[in-house]
Amino acid sequence: MNVRLGYSATFTAGVYFESGVIMNTYNADFQLMTKTDDSVDQNIAIERLKYIIYEQFADSIFLGLSNKNLETKFNDVGFRTIVMPDESADQIVGLVLFSKLNSAMEDKIEVIDISIRSSIGGGVSYLHCEGESVGPLEKSGWWSQPTPICSDKNSKTKKIVNLNEITWKSLDLEWNDGQYEEETIIEVKLEKQLEKVDIKGENVVEFKPNDKK
């Protein structure tokens, strides 16, 4: 049976503008739908979602497509960057999250609706649901790949980990595939063996009725 779920996330990332990088706090609300009855895979899907949000998006610097040339510059000084398929506006960040999370969860759980707003967004929330146009995300990119990587760039810098070495297997977030079987409880009954004792002699006391009246 498919179950509807809700998940809320708050994370902070830098947004590059011509004047510099501004730290921005995002609040995203997700409406989810389970697509498998396997509870192990459901939990793995949620952990994949958390990884993308908190280990990839959080604390990164978002670059608009027009600033892609700055990616190497930031990487060389130790910053993780995420290049958006358009400008790094809240709406695009929401669309990218919607697409990447669905790709990463591989139809075990589906994001059916997202609402996102940010501290510099003027109180405006951007909504997106399945079936709506994804605009610049219609072309293929890292957001449409099921991997944990949020970059099309093969980083070779010494100060950050090579992103292409990260896999769901290395993160211990591969799908169940029957490797986790339901717990089987085996009841073991232990019977106490009574020790046999040979009685060689007996003291017999004979009781006679009292003849006295």
The model's confidence at residue 199, banded by pLDDT at 50, 70 and 90, is very low
Say what the pLDDT of residue 197 is.
45
pLDDT in tens, 72-116: 999 999 999 999 999 999 999 999 999 999 999 999 999 999 999
Q: What percent of the chain has pLDDT over 70?
A: 78
Question: Any idea what DSSP says for residue 8?
Answer: E
DSSP 74-118: HHHTT--EEE-SS---HHHHHHHHHHHHHHHHTTSEEEEEEEEEE
Say what the pLDDT of residue 179 is.
61
Q: Is the pLDDT of residue 140 over 50?
A: yes
Q: What percent of the chain has pLDDT over 90?
A: 69
What CA–CA distance (Å, rounded) separates 92 from 98? Answer: 10
Task: Give the residue-averaged pLDDT of 179-191.
Answer: 48
Residue showing tokens 């605009």: 135
Say what the pLDDT of residue 165 is.
79
Instruction: Let me know the angle formed at the C-alpha of 68 by 64 and 72, rounded to the nearest 5 degrees.
Output: 130
Q: Where are the domains of the chain?
A: 4-165
Mean predicted lDDT score pLDDT of the chain: 85
156 vs 35, residue with greater confidence: 35
Nearest to 27 by CA among 89, 107, 94, 92: 94
Say what the pLDDT of residue 152 is.
85
The model's confidence at residue 209, banded by pLDDT at 50, 70 and 90, is low
Q: How many residues does the chain have?
A: 213
Domain covering 4-165: architecture: 2-Layer Sandwich (3.30)
What CA–CA distance (Å, rounded) separates 62 from 89? Answer: 9
Q: Is the pLDDT of residue 133 over 80?
A: yes
Query: Which long-range contacts (C-beta less than 8 Å, at least 24 apart) are formed by 73-80?
Result: 75/153, 75/155, 75/157, 75/159, 75/160, 76/157, 76/159, 77/159, 78/159, 78/160, 79/14, 79/160, 80/56, 80/160
Distance (Å) of CA 204 to CA 201, 207? 9, 10
pLDDT in tens, 152-165: 875 444 445 554 57
Task: Give the residue-averaged pLDDT of 133-151.
Answer: 93
Decide if 117 contacts 90 (C-beta within 8 A): yes
- Other C-beta atoms closer than 10 Å to the C-beta of 8 total 9
The model's confidence at residue 194, banded by pLDDT at 50, 70 and 90, is very low
Q: Which of 24-33, 68-77, 146-155, 182-191 has the highest mean pLDDT?
A: 24-33
